[in-house]
Structure 1
Amino acid sequence: MRTLAVATALTNIALTAAVLTASPAAADPTTLALPTPTGHQPVGVTSLWLKDTSRPDPWVPSVPYRELMVSVFYPTNSSNGPTKQYMTPQESELNLVRQNIPGLSLDVFSTVQTHAVVDAKPVGRQHSLPLIVLSPGWTQPRATLTTWAEDLASHGYAVAVIDHTYENRAQTFPDGHLTECAACAFDDDEATFWPKYYEVHTADTSFVLDELVGRHPKWRGSSLIDPRRIGMTGHSAGGAAVTHVMLADPRIRAGANIDGSQHAPMTGATTLSRPFMFMGTMDEYHPGTQNPYDDWEIDWQHLTGWKRWIMVSGTAHSSFTDLGPLAAQLGVPLGNTIDANRAIDITRAYIRAFFDQNLRCQPQPLMSAPSPAYPEVTFIG
């Protein structure tokens, strides 16, 4: 939940760069690893290079099509095989070079240990897997939501994580070409930027759904997806985009915004009647005063279906994503006061409970009332 100037978690890392020079962990990047998925099923992952030839790229109109990279995570039967590289060395460098962090190798994010086996055979009955679409924060690559994706897939979900081209710092395509953040040139005028941002995310998401559950699906496991059980969530600006996508695409049956300022909340008679959840950091929520969650107060009135608003004490903006535990392993505080892995445990538990209840129709105690297992969580509504 931040303005554009500090929306990226890597900026937070830069602000505490001095810590790295004294951090033993920073000298040994091979120790970096994502939290282990909590489900019983091994996880596979496939990368899809998709091209929408019906429109030029909205950020670089000279490109006559919109191309996207999507990682699809899914349950499989075997954990044997090479796991997905978190970022390439060049992607890692372009995400870190602006931060000028002493003592940190710029390719450090290429060494992160993940759990999803590349191109493992997907398993499940036909139309048995609910699908969750994930959208990363502004300037962030899809890699930063890998922990969410691996965990959901280990519990029997198909998960599609979208890289929105020209919005992140670096994105590599299979033929070797790399794109950077062309959209960053337009983010100084928020009045025009945010409506376009949401429009782009809406078109991108609907196109990806067409490619996964449409008449000519691009993923070999698409027949396993239940097109009647599709959800969406995201972090920061990617989370804020979810209501906009849901209003435009009725295929998305449930959505959640994880700590994303709305910037363009719903207005007038607009309502959203499908299940929705807000999840943010309690430490920045101050009712009655101007705070980063003012837009949530507006949208809350326009949510007419099942809804839940929860806040987590001790978290920072980046605590909800991979960057929380990775920064902790590097010895870099991001502002959280609870353990980074605890923050991820809470995030995964509530995201999973929300979709289990609203896509699988399995009542979840976590969604009905505060839980003694998670005293950090406060129910706002």
Structure 2
Amino acid sequence: MRRLPALAAGAAVLAVLAVSACSAPVPPRSDAPPATPPGPVALPAPTGPRPVGTTVLHLTDTSRPDPWAPGAGARELKVTLWYPAGRGGGRRAPYMTPKEAELLLRDAGVATTPYDTLSRTRTNAVQDAEPAGRGSPLVVLSPGFTKPVSTLTSLAEDLASRGYVVAGIDHTHESHATTLSDGRVVGCLACDSNSDPGFGAGLVEGRAADVSFVLDRLTSVREWSGLIDREKIAMVGQSIGGAAAVAAMLKDSRVRAGIDMDGTGYARIPKGGFSRPFMFLGARNHVPGGPDTSWDRDWKLLTGWKRWLVLSDAEHQSFTDIPLLADVLGLEPLPGMLPAARGAELTRTYVAAFLDRHLRSRPQPLLEGPSSRYPEVVFCPAACGRF
């Protein structure tokens, strides 16, 4: 859960949206947003051949209390599903609700754009479209701390267009805005504890429990169980969500493969090692011997198929939708930063290659070494001396 370097002017707000710790300082904000709304931004089109549908599930785990709001009783989760659809026509799903967008931008200190701006982002998935196909591999997505899973929509839509069912989990009270089943939008109660000793380890343990519960429900409810191949499940997470992928795999053997996108390793792999396929995909902060040494530690304990990829000129948010939304928020990118569209392309390409190899047993030469088509991708630890 690392912070980005301090940025000047509007770029500072981009960093605030991207960090995974609630205690980051925010710039002063006006109580009145600007009167002239910017035009909506459209997420990049999915690259697969299938139309994409999406729907939202509200699931309640009555076996445990909410770790951040014990008085609330059972743990309630919002889960967004993206999946191959039978048809491409229909109403496009909202990126997030106006209330979610308002709370997210207010808590991030954004005063340069109307608070409903993000809710007008154009997605590619059709709301509540009829699912198509059966026995699809399942990918669980977990977002960074303070961020809703909607910030991984571009990746989710692309995977669904390639034939995957994707379950994005909003871990309640760990984001600035999560809508519950009764319509209430709750904020980040976990932010009050993020400086406590052991916070990261406890948080990923809780997320692992969330994942196991969601898998229990998705693989047992008739409406969805037939669409999912329960023998082909993987997890992909960004920032603390990437650390949660390790925690979930250690807890639940149903998760057969995982990817950590630029997340500090808080879950501790046993000294005896861990043999299921795993990939690190990060920015230069995660080069061997870099500021964050958790990947150095965990790399030695991964005894099965593994890859450690670093994107040159990437930043912590390059693996999310946030750079794609910078223009509509009136924010300037970091100098020399990987362009938003290229960051999305690289993330989609390498995540899909990993999943195709390990959930579909399809050979992926792209994962065997450097590619002239994607020169930004560096294979570590061997080639990381260039940093």
Same fold (TM over 0.5): yes
Alignment partner, residue 319 of structure 1: 318
Paired residue type of 2:319: F
Mapping of residues 115-194 of structure 1, within 5 Å: 115-125=124-134, 127=135, 129-189=136-196, 191-194=197-200
Paired residue type of 1:353: A
Inter-partner Cα distance in structure 2 for 1:4 and 1:250: 34
Alignment partner, residue 245 of structure 1: 248
Alignment partner, residue 33 of structure 1: 42
Give the unaligned 5+ runs of structure 1: 19-25
* Partner SS for 1:137: coil
Give the paired residue count: 364
1:139 to partner: Cα distance? 0.6
* Partner SS for 1:145: helix
1:334 to partner: Cα distance? 4.1
Alignment partner, residue 376 of structure 1: 376
* Partner SS for 1:84: strand
Inter-partner Cα distance in structure 2 for 1:167 and 1:337: 28
Alignment partner, residue 384 of structure 2: none
Inter-partner Cα distance in structure 1 for 2:253 and 2:14: 32
Partners of 1:122 and 1:221 within 8 A in 2: no
Inter-partner Cα distance in structure 2 for 1:139 and 1:366: 33
* Partner SS for 2:80: strand
* Partner SS for 1:231: strand
Alignment partner, residue 16 of structure 2: 11
1:4 to partner: Cα distance? 9.9
Alignment partner, residue 201 of structure 2: 195
Partners of 2:204 and 2:266 within 8 A in 1: no
- Indicate how the Cα distance of structure 1 residues 136 and 5 shifts in structure 2: closer, same or farther if over 3 A, else same: farther
Alignment partner, residue 232 of structure 1: 235
Tell whether 2:59 aligns with 1:59.
no
Tell whether 2:278 aligns with 1:279.
no
Inter-partner Cα distance in structure 1 for 2:81 and 2:92: 13
Alignment partner, residue 212 of structure 1: 218
Inter-partner Cα distance in structure 2 for 1:187 and 1:15: 14
- Indicate how the Cα distance of structure 1 residues 285 and 166 shifts in structure 2: closer, same or farther if over 3 A, else same: closer
Partners of 2:370 and 2:378 within 8 A in 1: yes
1:31 to partner: Cα distance? 2.9
Inter-partner Cα distance in structure 2 for 1:135 and 1:357: 21
1:77 to partner: Cα distance? 2.1
* Structure 1 residue ranges (4+ consecutive) displaced by more than 4 angstroms after TM superposition: 3-6, 12-18
Inter-partner Cα distance in structure 2 for 1:263 and 1:57: 21
Inter-partner Cα distance in structure 1 for 2:306 and 2:14: 28
Mapping of residues 36-47 of structure 1, within 5 Å: 36-47=45-56
Inter-partner Cα distance in structure 1 for 2:147 and 2:109: 18
1:199 to partner: Cα distance? 1.4
Inter-partner Cα distance in structure 1 for 2:259 and 2:325: 24
Of 202, 222, 237, which aligns to 2:225?
222
Tell whether 2:329 aligns with 1:307.
no
% identical equivalent positions = 47
1:178 to partner: Cα distance? 1.8
Inter-partner Cα distance in structure 2 for 1:158 and 1:286: 32
Moved more, 198-207 or 75-84: 75-84
Of 256, 268, 271, which aligns to 1:268?
271
* Partner SS for 1:62: helix
Inter-partner Cα distance in structure 2 for 1:238 and 1:319: 15
Alignment partner, residue 353 of structure 1: 353
- What RMSD in Å do the two structures reach over aligned CA positions? 2.4
* Partner SS for 1:30: coil
1:331 to partner: Cα distance? 4.3
1:93 to partner: Cα distance? 1.0
- Indicate how the Cα distance of structure 1 residues 206 and 286 shifts in structure 2: closer, same or farther if over 3 A, else same: closer
1:319 to partner: Cα distance? 1.1
Partners of 1:29 and 1:108 within 8 A in 2: yes
Inter-partner Cα distance in structure 2 for 1:123 and 1:302: 39
Paired residue type of 1:345: E
* Partner SS for 1:350: helix
Alignment partner, residue 23 of structure 1: none
- Indicate how the Cα distance of structure 1 residues 141 and 273 shifts in structure 2: closer, same or farther if over 3 A, else same: same
Cα offsets for 1:106-142 (capped at 9, x unmatched): 11111000011111110113x2x00000000001001
Inter-partner Cα distance in structure 2 for 1:146 and 1:157: 14
Answer 1 or 2: which has greater helix percent. Answer: 1
Tell whether 2:294 aligns with 1:295.
yes
1:329 to partner: Cα distance? 4.5
- Indicate how the Cα distance of structure 1 residues 259 and 187 shifts in structure 2: closer, same or farther if over 3 A, else same: same
Q: TM-score, normalised by structure 1?
A: 0.90
* Partner SS for 2:242: helix
Inter-partner Cα distance in structure 1 for 2:58 and 2:219: 16
Inter-partner Cα distance in structure 1 for 2:278 and 2:49: 27
Inter-partner Cα distance in structure 2 for 1:5 and 1:197: 24
Inter-partner Cα distance in structure 2 for 1:16 and 1:346: 30
1:10 to partner: Cα distance? 5.4
